[in-house]
Amino acid sequence: MAKEHVELICSIGELAGLFQKSTSLENFLQTAVSVVAYHMRAAVCSVYLYEEELGELVLHANQGLNPDYIGRLRLKLGEGLVGTALKELRPIREGSAPRNPRFKHIPGINEEYFQAFLAVPIVRGLTRVGVLVVQDPVQDYFDQNDTRALQAIAAQLASVIENAKLLMALHRMEASTAPAPPAVTVAPDLKFLRGLSVSPGIALGRATVFGGPDDDLHIEESAPAGAYSRADFDRSLHNTEAQLTALQTQMEERLEDVASMIFSAHILILRDSMFSGAMARLIEQGSPPREAIVQIATDYIRLFAASENPRLREKVQDVKDLGRRLLRNLRPDAKDAADHAGRVIIAGELLPSDILKLVAQRAAGLLLVGGGATSHIAILARSLQLPMVMIENRALLDLHETVDVLLDGDQGTIYVDPTPEVRQRYRDLQQTSREVASIPIPESDASATSDGERIDVMANINMLSELKIAHRFRAAGVGLYRSEFPFIVRNDFPSEEEQYRIYRSLLDQMQGSDVIMRTLDVGGDKMLSYFPSVNEANPFLGLRALRFSLRYKDIFTRQLRAMLRAGEGRALHIMFPLVSSVDDFVDARAVVRECLRQLEHERTPHHATPRLGAMVEMPSAVEVVTELVAEADFLSIGGNDLVQYVLAVDRTNAQISDHYVAYHPAILRALKRIADAALAARKPVSFCGEMASDPRLLPFLIGIGIRRLSVEPRQIPNVRQQLARLNYAEARTRAAFLLTLGRISEVEQALGITRPATPAA
């Protein structure tokens, strides 16, 4: 895709008009950098403004670098390339900025990936206003036309910024007369924390500790204890059930594949005569309704929490939810406020179904404390667009529920009781991402390199609700449907019929394009809470994926039958995860053939000739890939696991993540062998791992002949953008060169990657 200079200049023209409606200069500038980055197809865009009195430039808006530096990064006139551009009032364009002796390295800003650099001064008359900068990982990315376009934009920005500065001065005066913010009671070392980003997005809301002390039934209640009557209790009971039923219906409509019966336990407990019946009896004996609810709910919470049975222990949270809901509904004027609406949930432990409940109750974000974010929790949060950060600091679990928390899922940062400035900055960021989200998506779904090699960019789908995004970004199909999600969030194995409905809906919604359905991939860190798993010392080396399916043939058969039935009259691709040998594949195929015989015999409509593929994710599969591809109809490379198993690095262990090096020469060579085998056998091969959306590694995949990529739906525009700037002939040469390198450090040098030093013990 070409850079859109004309369109860019027009958009900035419109932005000038938009500024009148913007809430602040920062908001406007943040929108501006997003629009410039988008149209210039640049990974980074920044605006620095010049403070004449101090002779310093301040970073005011940025996309692509560490946002913590916004408002904090200051450069003297003449300092670094940015300062020089303004001092000398000339554009500076560098193919590889770090090579320029004037380049100033700012630790922590995350600039190291970005080689190409272009800065133009923003000037009004003779007045220095600031600097506009774009950066990109691809060397020599910017040309003379880009410089001209950026200069045109800078000229337009100049006048807007000048007006805005006047307004800002006015706001400063107002702020200085505004009342002081309320006193903060949070320990200073808890004010700002850095965690691990799990799911993107920003959430600002009241902290709510999930699964806090077991007998804590937190009540937000100001009415006196005896304020309610038996009639209030009856109404509360009735309304609580109606609300839960409505919530269940809504979730089933929104998440047809995974939300089945998530509130069923709530409703069952609510109706139980030992629960609501016991409350009613207490009230009849003279207890005020509020006390009766608290007493019985607390008894249940204690009972469940002490249970040996993990399935009962899981219900503690449900009872707390119920208790709170009943208390709230006592009030005659109670609204159906969702339990967690607008809240930032802080949890020590969480089940996949908890995430669904939190989303149903409109939680704003999730902070998982003390590890334990298994990959399905992370994937669920991302799929449900729930911003989420993981952090070690357990003190957060003691946070008072009167404090606000700001969680930045993009950066993995947390602000406890954020200052008004921080809140405003994030409100602006949210506004900006809304504005950027409305940027129109290109008409066509075709993706190609700059020299015309067609590449399919498909979507990895975990839940059917994500198909909407895949369609919006014009995915060329579903390259990986992770069928385990309906299994993970339920309390029991879904029936063949339930699975059939889910797969049929998936195929219906993607009609006309390929859908590759993967059979169950559980085990590892994707455990089924209802399946008595053997206690494995090394679950990733244990009963995982296809091994599980081949061990439990009835579960496998049920799933395959559902897939085969759903595929009737459609194109049907089924693939097996974690195939370790040709024999594995042949065994799995035999089960498919047996299912086909059964369905034929029963005269049940089905697809009689599905295409069967193998995922190549293990070194053993790479070693026999020629024989494997001879048997399979297609191959799919699961890059995430391939790296894990080739390098023997647990992909979920943050402590050794510096060993998880996707560009290790061993990985590059393994990928090349897989691609070669598939090309020689003239069988399709796709790649579906995180590597495909990494701009540093994508050229290699294309260069070795991969023509199908499957990525998280939100990554599709980014990947298509990267592809459009890629020259296939060059990518081939480059890949051939990378394959000659034997050391990680050599590959890093060739790809322009700087890795942080390995932490010493």
Is-catalytic flag, 376? Answer: yes
**Cβ(359)–Cβ(345) under 8 Å?**
no
In terms of CB distance, is 322 or 688 closer to ligand PEP? 688
Whole-angstrom distance, CA of residue 101 vs CA of residue 64: 23
Shortest separation between residue 563's beta carbon and Mg ion, angstroms:
18
Considering only the stretches 39-47, 638-646, 693-701, 717-725, report the one whose residues sit in contact with ligand PEP under the rule CB under 6 A.
638-646
Selected from 626, 640, 652, 727, the binder of ligand PEP by CB under 6 A is 640
Torsion of CA 248, 253, 254, 258, to 10 degrees: 70
Phi, psi at 188, each rounded to 5°: -60, -35
Q: Pick the closest to residue 509 from 283, 257, 303 (CA basis).
A: 257
Strand order in the sheet with 74-76: 74-76, 56-63, 44-51, 127-136, 116-124, 92-94
Shortest separation between residue 639's beta carbon and Mg ion, angstroms:
8
Shortest separation between residue 524's beta carbon and ligand PEP, angstroms:
8
Shortest separation between residue 518's beta carbon and Mg ion, angstroms:
9
Q: Is 688 one of the binding residues for ligand PEP (CB under 6 A)?
A: yes
Whole-angstrom distance, CA of residue 142 vs CA of residue 468: 34
Among Mg ion, ligand PEP, none, the one that 689 touches (CB under a kind-dependent 5 to 8 A) is ligand PEP
Burial annotation 85-111 (CB, 10 A radius, 16+ → b, else e): bbbeeebbbbeebbeeeebeeeeebbb
Q: Pick the closest to residue 360 from 217, 264, 467, 482 (CA basis).
A: 264
Phi, psi at 477, each rounded to 5°: 145, -175
Considering only the stretches 333-341, 560-568, 609-617, 672-680, report the one whose residues sit in contact with Mg ion under the rule CB under 5 A.
609-617
Q: In the range 557-576, which residues lie near Mg ion by CB under 5 A?
A: none
In terms of CB distance, is 421 or 623 closer to ligand PEP? 623
> Helices 5-19 and 25-40 sit at what angle, rounded to 10 degrees?
170
Q: Pick the closest to residue 519 from 559, 463, 579 (CA basis).
A: 559
Structure tokens at 298: 């607390």
Q: By CB under 5 A, how many residues form the interface with Mg ion?
A: 3
Q: By CB under 6 A, how many residues form the interface with ligand PEP?
A: 10
Q: In the range 516-555, which residues lie near ligand PEP by CB under 6 A?
A: 521
Q: Is 378 one of the binding residues for ligand PEP (CB under 6 A)?
A: no
Whole-angstrom distance, CA of residue 707 vs CA of residue 299: 60
Tell me which of 340, 376, 606, 664 is the catalytic residue: 376
Q: Is 689 one of the binding residues for ligand PEP (CB under 6 A)?
A: yes
Structure tokens at 714: 């939100």
Q: In the range 469-498, which residues lie near ligand PEP by CB under 6 A?
A: 480, 482
Considering only the stretches 50-58, 179-187, 581-589, 635-643, report the one whose residues sit in contact with ligand PEP under the rule CB under 6 A.
635-643
Whole-angstrom distance, CA of residue 748 vs CA of residue 532: 44
Considering only the stretches 302-310, 394-402, 438-446, 636-644, report the one whose residues sit in contact with ligand PEP under the rule CB under 6 A.
636-644
Site track 611-650 with Mg ion (rule: CB under 5 A), x = hit: ------x--------------------x--x---------
Q: Is 638 one of the binding residues for ligand PEP (CB under 6 A)?
A: yes
274: left (phi over 0), alpha (psi -120 to 50) or beta: alpha
Shortest separation between residue 670's beta carbon and ligand PEP, angstroms:
13
Shortest separation between residue 641's beta carbon and ligand PEP, angstroms:
3
Among ligand PEP, Mg ion, none, the one that 480 touches (CB under a kind-dependent 5 to 8 A) is ligand PEP
Q: In the range 640-699, which residues lie near Mg ion by CB under 5 A?
A: 641
Site track 83-102 with ligand PEP (rule: CB under 6 A), x = hit: --------------------
Whole-angstrom distance, CA of residue 525 vs CA of residue 297: 33
Selected from 641, 650, 694, 712, the binder of ligand PEP by CB under 6 A is 641
> Helices 665-680 and 744-751 sit at what angle, rounded to 10 degrees?
80
Shortest separation between residue 578's beta carbon and ligand PEP, angstroms:
8
Among Mg ion, ligand PEP, none, the one that 688 touches (CB under a kind-dependent 5 to 8 A) is ligand PEP
Whole-angstrom distance, CA of residue 79 vs CA of residue 91: 15
Which ranges of 306-416 would DSSP assign to H, the alpha helix? 310-313, 316-330, 352-360, 375-383
Is-catalytic flag, 45? Answer: no
Shortest separation between residue 617's beta carbon and ligand PEP, angstroms:
5
Residues that bind Mg ion (CB under 5 A): 617, 638, 641
Question: Would you please indicate which residues are annotated as catalytic (active-site) residues?
Answer: 376, 688
Residues that bind ligand PEP (CB under 6 A): 480, 482, 521, 617, 638-641, 688-689
